Structure 1
Amino acid sequence: MNVREIMIEGVETIGEDETLETALKKSTEEGEGGSLIVERNGEVVGIVTTWDVLEEIGDRRDLRDIRVRDTMETHLVTVHTDTPVEQAAKEMVDHGIWRLPVEEAGQIVGIVSATDILTNEIRNIM
C-alpha cells in the first residue's frame, strides 16, 4: 500500500509572519488539524504543528507574540505519493516526527500522519 491511499489530501498553509495564535485558530477551524505548511512568497519554507504550539503554551508564552517563523520546522522531510506506507513509517521514526508532507510533481498535495498509518494497520489486522 502506498501513502496516496491513506494520506489526507490537500494542505492548509500559513505565512511565516503570522502569529501562533492565528496558526492555532486556522488549524482547528479550517483544516484537519495537526499541521500547517508554512509559505514565504508562495514557496514552502517549513511546517508548524500543534506540538510546536503546545511547547509554547507549556512555556507560558503568549501565542499572539510569537511568529510562525520562530517555531516552525524548516527541515522538511517529505515523501512521494507512491512511497510505501512502511517507508513513510520508517522516515517518521528515523526523524522523530509525527507528520510527513506528501509530494507529487514537485507540489505538496497532502499530509500523512502516524495516526493515519496506525489506523490503516489496525484495519488490516481486523
Structure 2
Amino acid sequence: MRDQHVGALVVSEGGGSDHILGVLTDRDIVLQSVCTGTSPITVRVGEVMSPHILSIDVNADLTEAMQVMSSHGVRRLAVVGNGTDVVGILSLDDVIAALGREWILLTNILRNEQNREAFGSIQTPLHA
C-alpha cells in the first residue's frame, strides 16, 4: 500500500474479483492492529479488514457518491460496472480533486468575464 501510495485494497477470494470479501484500509491496519498492540507484520488481512464494502455504479455522478460517503461515514467507495465487477475505487481525495478542477473552471469564467468587461469598455466607443 505504501509503495503504490494507496489507502485501500479490495479483498477478494483467490486474488480475483469474483467474490469480494471486504476492504482493507490503512485506517483498519492502524486501529485494528497497531493500536491494539498486534504487529501489522504478523496479523492476517482477514483479521483487520472491513467485511463490508460500499459500492457505487460507474455511471453515478459525484453528488450521489458524496451522499453515499456522507450517509455511511466512509472515505472510499468501490466503483462497479455490470452490477458487480469492481472497476476501481473512488476516494474522497478523488472527489476533492474533481471538484477543485470545476472550481478552477468557474474562476476562469469569472476572470475572463471581468477582463472582457474591463478592457472591452475601453475599446467600445461611447454612444451619446
In the alignment of these two chains, the number of paired residues is 99
Q: Please name the residue that 2:12 is paired with.
A: 39
The one-letter code matched in structure 2 to 1:73 is S
Query: Counting strand residues as a fraction of each chain, which structure ranks higher?
Result: 1
1:43-122 to structure 2, matched below 5 A, reads 43-55=19-31, 56-105=33-82, 106-122=84-100
**Larger Rg, first or second structure (1 or 2):** 2
Write the distance in 2 (CA, Å) between the matches of 1:72 and 1:53. 8
- TM-score normalised by length of structure 1: 0.72
Give the whole-Å Cα distance in 2 for the aligned partners of 1:74 and 1:88.
20
Please give the alpha-carbon distance, in whole angstroms, between the structure 1 residues aligned to 2:100 and 2:30: 28
Structure 1 segments of 4+ aligned residues over 4 angstroms from their partners = none
In structure 1, which of residues 25, 28, 40 is the aligned counterpart of residue 2 of structure 2? 28
What percentage of residue pairs aligned between the two structures are identical? 24
* Whole-angstrom distance in 1 between the partners of 2:98 and 2:43: 36
Amino acid at match of 1:122: G
